[in-house]
């Protein structure tokens, strides 16, 4: 069977149509080149060239082999380039999980950034709550998670590293006809005794603890009337006038006509964090370039500013 060296030698002869010029191009003498072509023809069992004292011509079989030789060499060179890019982390696959709320703003930024900076990296996306992501990282079912801080990170059986990629603002979600939907900017004191739609322990332990600390420090006690797992469900209940809710500013990506989102004064510690998490022993060669690119993105301010509605009070 022929090797790639024989294929390259044949291409040189076919392009030059002259053994002397082809040998010079390949930095060979003419005799070794002639032997290579003869060995190639013997291995294939066909004549590829017609030789005369004045000219070299391709046989019909030679023309067919030339086209295939071009294709084979192009495939080999492409495979070599892809292999080098994979080894350097420029190409490959990243399995990325994300929380439902991050899908409204942070996830689109991540996907757009990676497509622009690392277009040869394929993303396999899956939605999970934060604790499920930590378990998936431990079991090596994902490479990177976009998640909220969780005590499970400290309890993980494998070394999981994290870096903050977003600090969000808390917004007050209010039914459009609620008194707090207009007038002066609402304060935490306005929520004392107010019906509150909030997070369930399954999907929102981080937010439960964050809001409990916030309310305790402010000395207020809202009335929890409903608990849900997902941000869009929480806003739907607010729109149905079940109560108000404190939500991250990613909620502005959800369009609902029956609610108003307003800023509310809160200490810096109450800004919800979004983390990038990964196993430190993950051997995926494109993890380093992926992670570095996203952390570079996180250092730049998000130019997509939230549109927060503060309408006049409704007359009905």
pTM, two decimals, is: 0.66
Q: What is the pLDDT of residue 313?
A: 35
Q: Confirm if 234 and 245 have CB atoms less than 8 A apart.
A: yes
Q: Is the pLDDT of residue 87 over 60?
A: yes
**Alpha-carbon gap, residue 228 to 148, rounded angstroms:** 16
Q: Is the pLDDT of residue 79 over 60?
A: yes
Burial class (CB in 10 A: 0-12, 13-18, 19+), 299: exposed
Q: Would you say the CATH fold of 170-270 matches that of 4-87?
A: no
**Alpha-carbon gap, residue 21 to 17, rounded angstroms:** 8
295-308 residue pLDDT tens: 988 876 553 333 33
Span 170-270 CATH architecture: 3-Layer(aba) Sandwich (3.40)
284-296 residue pLDDT tens: 989 999 999 999 8
Domain-wise residue ranges, the chain:
4-87, 92-167+272-299, 170-270
Percent of the chain past pLDDT 90, that is, above it, reads 48
16-44 residue pLDDT tens: 888 889 899 989 898 898 999 998 999 89
**Alpha-carbon gap, residue 223 to 194, rounded angstroms:** 6
**Alpha-carbon gap, residue 109 to 113, rounded angstroms:** 6
208-236 residue pLDDT tens: 999 999 999 999 999 999 999 888 899 99
| Fold designation for 92-167+272-299 | D-Maltodextrin-Binding Protein; domain 2 (3.40.190)
Span 4-87 CATH architecture: Orthogonal Bundle (1.10)
């Amino acid at each position: 069977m022929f090797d790639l060296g024989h294929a390259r030698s044949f291409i040189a002869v076919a392009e030059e149509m002259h053994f002397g010029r082809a040998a010079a191009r390949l930095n060979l003498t003419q005799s070794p080149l002639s032997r290579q072509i003869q060995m190639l023809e013997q291995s294939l069992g066909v004549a590829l060239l017609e030789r005369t004292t004045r000219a070299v011509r391709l046989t019909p079989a030679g023309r067919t082999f030339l086209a295939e030789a071009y294709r084979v060499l192009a495939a080999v060179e492409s495979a070599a380039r892809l292999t080098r890019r994979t080894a350097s982390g420029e190409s490959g696959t990243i399995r990325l999980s994300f929380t439902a709320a991050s899908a409204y703003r942070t996830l689109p930024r991540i996907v757009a950034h990676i497509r622009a900076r690392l277009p040869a990296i394929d993303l396999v996306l899956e939605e999970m709550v934060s604790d499920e992501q930590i378990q998936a990282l431990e079991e090596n079912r994902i490479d990177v998670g976009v998640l909220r801080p969780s005590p499970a990170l400290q309890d993980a059986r494998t070394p999981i590293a994290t870096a903050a990629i977003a600090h969000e603002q808390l917004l007050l979600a209010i039914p459009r006809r609620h008194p707090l939907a207009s007038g002066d900017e609402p304060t935490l004191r306005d929520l004392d005794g107010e019906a509150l739609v909030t997070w369930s322990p399954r999907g929102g332990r981080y937010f439960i603890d964050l809001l409990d600390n916030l309310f305790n420090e402010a000395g207020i006690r809202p009335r929890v009337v409903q608990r849900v797992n997902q941000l869009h469900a929480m806003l739907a209940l607010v729109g149905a006038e079940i109560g108000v809710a404190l939500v991250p500013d990613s909620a502005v990506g959800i369009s609902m006509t029956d609610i108003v989102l307003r800023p509310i004064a809160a200490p810096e510690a109450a800004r919800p964090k979004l983390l990038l998490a990964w196993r430190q022993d993950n051997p995926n060669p494109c993890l380093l370039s992926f992670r570095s690119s996203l952390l570079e993105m996180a250092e730049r301010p998000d130019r997509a500013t939230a549109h927060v509605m503060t309408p006049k009070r409704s007359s009905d």
